[in-house]
């Protein structure tokens, strides 16, 4: 069995420490130099020759998080690592997964090409915005399910009359899969956008009267959608509204919107570190899930067994 070494980029250092601890090891010694113009230069301060190297880094903005990770992969390859595996808890640019209008890029495919071009052996990530992004890769992709961690928390609340809601039509499949774990029904919040991050109108498809509602989504960015959905669901007779979100980008007015909304709480994971405290936000760590997935990769065991 190859020796396993785990390293962290700057964007995910705290999560990486928790993953390494759950795996039973310590983070490897890695330095990332910054030149006067802020150019990045990663350097491994220990040998990785012949090792199975796992590099942990989410690629949320700024874009230098992605560049830093690619330079780390290249450095590990040039240092004769046996395999270089990316653990990308949050896959940036995943929302740009298709051409939804003329003359636009498909950012998710560009990132996939970038990852492969530097010699990555495999990618491990969680709750892609669209599962079919895996098809952009010609290397193994381990797509973990964040519900493995968040569903037990929802069950621990012992909520009666539980129903799940998708904040938009595109999230129905994700919401249905989550609701299936509880044997519960779903409703859909159908929204119309004028432009990105701006909602023109929203309506609820389904009855939530007297129900405790859980909104399910992969990303919360400006929080406009989930807050508007929560307010509308309460107007339609819901007893309470919570949200389960994997990736807390929380840009711009997101924290203020959540504080002022009808949401009882927002359950998020630690794929992206929170930039400020918020009494309505509860963070649940995915460290144990990623550590178990790394262990199963190394021992050639099933990854899907962790969440199926």
Position of tokens 């492969």?
116
Mapping DSSP onto H, E and C, the string for 50-114 reads: CCEEEEECCCCCCCHHHHHHHHHHHHHHHCCCCEEEEEECCCCCCCCCCCCCCCCCCHHHHHHHH
- Please give the positions annotated as active site: 191
Angle (CA) 181-60-291 rounded to 5° is 50
Position of tokens 């309460």?
234
Structure tokens belonging to residue 64: 């230098």
Per-residue pLDDT of the chain (308 residues; tens, 9 = 90+): 789 999 999 999 999 999 999 999 999 999 999 999 999 999 999 999 999 999 999 999 999 999 999 999 999 999 999 999 999 999 999 999 999 889 999 999 999 999 999 999 999 999 999 999 999 999 999 999 999 999 999 999 999 999 999 998 889 999 999 999 999 999 999 876 656 655 567 889 999 999 999 999 999 999 999 999 999 999 999 999 999 999 999 999 999 999 999 999 999 999 999 999 999 999 999 999 999 999 999 999 999 989 87
Residues 6+ apart with CB under 8 A from 180: none
Domains with residue ranges and CATH for the chain: 4-145+287-306 (3.40.50.2020), 147-284 (3.40.50.2020)
Q: Are 89 and 15 in contact (CB under 8 A)?
A: yes
Q: Is 116 helix (H, G, I), strand (E, B) or coil?
A: helix
With 0-12 CB in 10 A as exposed, 13-18 as middle and 19+ as buried, what is 7?
buried
**pTM of this structure:** 0.94
Cis, bond preceding 258 (omega within 30 deg of 0): no
Question: What's the confidence (pLDDT) of residue 161?
Answer: 96
Distance CA 129, CA 215 (A): 16
Residue 220: enclosing H or E segment and its boundaries?
strand 212-220
Question: What's the confidence (pLDDT) of residue 254?
Answer: 97
With 0-12 CB in 10 A as exposed, 13-18 as middle and 19+ as buried, what is 295?
middle
Position of tokens 């309505």?
280
């Amino acid at each position: 069995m190859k020796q396993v070494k785990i390293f962290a980029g700057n964007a995910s250092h705290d999560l990486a420490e928790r993953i390494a601890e759950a795996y039973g090891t310590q983070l490897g010694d890695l330095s990332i130099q910054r030149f006067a113009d802020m150019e990045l230069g990663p350097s491994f301060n220990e040998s990785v020759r012949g090792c199975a190297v796992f590099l942990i880094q989410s690629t949320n903005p700024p874009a230098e998080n992605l560049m830093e990770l690619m330079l780390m992969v290249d450095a590990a390859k040039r240092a004769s690592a046996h395999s270089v595996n990316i653990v990308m808890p949050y896959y940036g640019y995943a929302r740009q997964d298709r051409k939804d209008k003329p003359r636009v890029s498909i950012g998710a495919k560009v990132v996939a090409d970038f990852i492969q071009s530097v010699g990555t052996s495999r990618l491990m990530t969680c709750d892609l915005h669209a599962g079919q992004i895996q098809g952009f890769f010609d290397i193994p992709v381990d797509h973990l399910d964040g519900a493995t961690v968040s569903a037990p928390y929802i069950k621990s609340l012992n909520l009666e009359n539980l129903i799940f809601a998708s904040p938009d039509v595109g999230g129905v499949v994700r919401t249905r899969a989550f609701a299936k774990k509880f044997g519960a029904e779903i409703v859909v919040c159908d929204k119309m956008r004028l432009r990105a991050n701006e909602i023109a109108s929203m309506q609820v498809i389904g009855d939530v009267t007297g129900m405790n509602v859980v909104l399910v989504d992969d990303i919360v960015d400006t929080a406009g959608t989930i807050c508007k959905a929560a307010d509308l669901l309460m107007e339609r007779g819901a007893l309470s509204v919570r949200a389960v979100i994997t990736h807390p980008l929380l840009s711009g007015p997101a924290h203020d919107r959540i504080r002022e909304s009808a949401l009882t709480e927002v359950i998020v994971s630690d794929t992206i570190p929170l930039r400020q405290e918020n009494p309505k936000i509860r963070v649940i760590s995915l460290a144990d899930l990623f550590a178990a997935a790394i262990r199963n990769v190394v021992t050639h065991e099933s990854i899907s067994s962790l969440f199926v």
